[in-house]
Amino acid sequence: MNQEMLKEVVRAGVEVRLNELVQLSQLIHSHPELGFQEHQAVEWLTSYLREQGFSVKTKIADLPTAFRADYGTGRPVIAFLAEYDALPKIGHACGHNIIATSAVGAAVALRPVVDEWGGQVVVMGTPAEELYGGKAIMAEKGAFAGLDAAMMFTPVFATRRRPMPWPVSAWTSSSSARRPTPRLLPRRGSMPSRP
């Protein structure tokens, strides 16, 4: 299968599951859970991933509601990050229910690519983002070790087909800091040339 055919298979993989993914998102939205209390959301997300052939580990990085779901073997290892916690008193105002199901849907839709070309697709369940910075805690405990790339989606008011106007940020960790700190990277093509 060539690259264009695989892209179409992935698109179709999302479309065929769209209704069930929307239902999963709405279910999480209607049952908001605060950070480190997202037990129901984790159960729904990991059950869906298991049904789709992913192997799932829960309570990773010593966090009660963190998880990792893997499909495939070998390299590259590409991860989608899923947030699913809610805000106190206002629920899923930031759309973490959408972030979680987008990550799950993307990973599930990529299974044919993994089957055809190899590698691994991973969903990393990152709890407690609103109040405690779950990803930073997971990074400190090595939960992202071995990933070749990690990405996440965040809902915005409109679909953009061009790059966002701000620079990409990366997270680095130093031994003197308890939390990873942001570092701005230059946009593609703006790197100075090496001597």
In a domain, 10, yes or no: yes
How far are the Cα atoms of 11, 14, 68, 103 from residue 17, in angstroms, in the given order? 10, 5, 21, 13
Dihedral (Cα; 55, 77, 118, 82), 10-degree rounding: 50
The domain total for the chain is 1
The tens digit of pLDDT for each residue in 96-137 reads 999 999 999 999 999 999 999 999 999 999 999 999 999 999
Residue for token pair 């989608």: 80
Is residue 115 one of the residues assigned to a domain? yes
* CA pair distance 185, 3, nearest whole angstrom: 29
Q: Which residue has 């679909």 as its token pair? A: 159
Q: What is the pLDDT of residues 152-173, one digit of tens each?
A: 988 877 666 655 544 444 443 3
- CATH for 39: 3.40.630.10
Is 51 part of a structural domain of the chain?
yes
What is the reported pTM?
0.81
In a domain, 118, yes or no: yes
Q: Give the sign of the dihedral formed by CA 81, CA 84, CA 88, CA 93.
A: positive
